[in-house]
Amino acid sequence: MAEMVRAAHPGEVAILDGIAGIADGFDLILCDVWGVLHDGIHAHRAAAEALTRFRALPGGRPRRVVLVSNAPRPGSAVQAQLDGFGVPRTAYDAIVTSGDLTRRLIAERAGAPMFHLGPDRDLPVFDGLDLTRSGPDEAAHVVVTGLLDDEVETAADYRARLEPWAARGVTLICANPDLVVERGERLIPCAGAVAALYEDLGGEVVYAGKPHGPVYEAALAAADAIEGGAPLPRDRVLAVGDAIRTDVAGARGFGIASLLVARGIHAEELGVAAGAPIGDIAHWLAAQAVHPDAVIDLLRW
């Protein structure tokens, strides 16, 4: 990506106007959904167009896009949501979600009493599974998919619920490791914030989704299954997302390149929330534990 740096200096992160100039260097894009393809209310049309054009690039191995989402629901439910937003299916080949990985974790614990902490809209994550639902006091493990009312609640409102589980050594399965997600112009707390508090209380958490390795393994397996050929080398894979903590850190840990979308959950910190262009972000990046390979305001071609 170094050739795409604008006003480059040694050690700076590339700032891109679009991905057209780097696209030929990759065969697979692992793309975040919420914050990149839509903001929870409206679709980002340019992002879908960019992915569609990437998939249509000629020559070499066919270009693929796997959407990798921390949504606590199966990929089929995310696809239905994308259809509702008008995101064309030409923009991607497959969807892998933290909900899909959560289902695997639940299946491994079949028969053990489970309590669900989260809104009813996340119930599809349990469809068809062999599980034993229980009350909070009987649970051997708890699956947290989100806050019951994320419009008004915060993770701190759940302290009294979490403390008895931590004291009993109950394992919490976090179906969405995100701390917050963008909903229009607001940031809404997610299951990851509840899980972080549980860890602070001494509880054990098993995470499904980014930034943890299994979701990337699943995404690459989904891409390889489409081709049925040799595994894709990681230096031909690009992760795109709007979160340093999950998208960028996950890509770095997995050994693949990353592109940070600035106009997502970090828009306020980066000074682009009101539509301003990306300016000097070196100070902000210096404060981060990991750095992306490049930054773009919104995903576009």
Q: What average pLDDT is seen over the chain? A: 92
Token output for 36: 């990149």
How many angstroms separate the CA atoms of 219 and 75, rounded? 12
Q: What percent of the chain is modeled with pLDDT above 70? A: 96
Given 207, 238, 271, which residue is the final one in a domain? 207
Judgement on whether residues 166 and 137 belong to the same structural domain of the protein? yes
Using alpha carbons only, give the angle 73, 77, 80 rounded to the nearest 5 degrees: 155
pLDDT at 2: 39
Instruction: Provide the pLDDT confidence category of residue 282 given band limits of 50, 70 and 90.
Output: confident
- Same structural domain, 6 and 139: no
From its phi and psi, is residue 39 left (phi > 0), alpha (psi between -120 and 50) or beta? alpha
Asked whether residue 283 carries a pLDDT value surpassing 90, the answer given is no
Residue 248 phi/psi, 5° resolution? Answer: -75, -45
Q: Which two tokens stand for residue 299?
A: 């995903």
Share of the chain above pLDDT 90, in %: 82
Instruction: For residue 93, give Cα distances in angstroms to 2, 114, 142.
Output: 28, 33, 32
In a domain, 129, yes or no: yes
Q: Which two tokens stand for residue 73?
A: 């629901």
234 domain residue, yes or no: yes
15 is a domain residue: yes
- The total of structural domains in the chain comes to 2
Question: What confidence tens digit (pLDDT) does each residue in 161-215 have?
Answer: 999 999 999 999 999 999 998 788 788 999 999 999 999 999 999 999 999 999 9
Residues 215 and 81 in one domain: yes
Phi, psi of 180 (to 5 degrees): -140, 165
Both tokens assigned to 221: 């397996």
Q: Do residues 117 and 170 share a domain?
A: yes
**Owning domain of residue 89:** 2-99+211-296
User: Is residue 13 located within the same domain as residue 150?
Assistant: no
- Residue 149: how many other CB atoms lie within 10 Å: 9
Residue 89 lies in a domain: yes
Closest to 242 measured CA to CA, from 292, 190, 284: 292
pLDDT, tens digit (0-9, with 9 covering 90-100), for 249-273: 999 999 999 999 998 889 888 888 7
Note the pLDDT tens digit of each residue in 79-106. Answer: 999 999 999 999 999 999 999 999 999 9
Of 158, 180, 207, the position where a domain reaches its end is 207
Average pLDDT over residues 51-67: 94
Q: Is the pLDDT of residue 277 over 90?
A: no
- Does residue 301 form part of some domain? no
CATH of the domain at 177: 3.40.50.1000
Q: Are residues 171 and 114 located together in one domain of the fold?
A: yes
At 218-241, the pLDDT tens digits run 999 999 998 776 788 999 999 999
> Which pair of structure tokens corresponds to residue 247?
């998208």
> What pLDDT does 173 receive?
97
This prediction has a pTM of 0.90
pLDDT band at 6 (very low <50, low <70, confident <90, very high): very low
- Are 164 and 196 within one domain? yes
What pLDDT score does 279 carry? 81
Residue 97 pLDDT? 97
- pLDDT at residue 294 tops 50: yes
pLDDT of residue 141: 96
Q: What is the 3-state secondary structure (H, E, C) of 74-129?
A: CHHHHHHHHHHHCCCHHHCCEEEEHHHHHHHHHHCCCCCEEEEECCHHHHHHHCCC
CA-based nearest residue to 148, from 177, 178, 188: 188
Domain check: are 73 and 23 in the same one? yes
Count Cβ atoms below 10 Å from residue 290 Cβ, excluding itself.
15
In this predicted structure, the answer to whether residue 51 has a pLDDT above a threshold of 70 is yes
